[in-house]
Amino acid sequence: EISPAYRQKLLSLGMLPGSSFNVVRVAPLGDPIHIETRRVSLVLRKKDLALLEVEAVSC
């Protein structure tokens, strides 16, 4: 489960419910993963991304 402090940090960085993001690149060993939201570019660990509920959409 995601901690309230980490949840707040992600929200402040633009990872809002219903928002979309793009995967920019994945590290050679698969971790971490570079993503971009509307406002910011983030690099998150796989274990942190696994805490989020995501849905794949096609372009």
Task: Supply the pLDDT for residue 10.
Answer: 87
pTM of the model: 0.76
Domains of the chain, earliest start first? 4-49 (2.30.30.90)
Strand partners for 36: 22, 41
Give the up-direction half-sphere exposure of residue 53: CA atoms within 13 A in the CB hemisphere.
Answer: 4
Per run of 10 residues, the mean pLDDT along the chain (length 59 residues) is 89 85 92 89 90 79
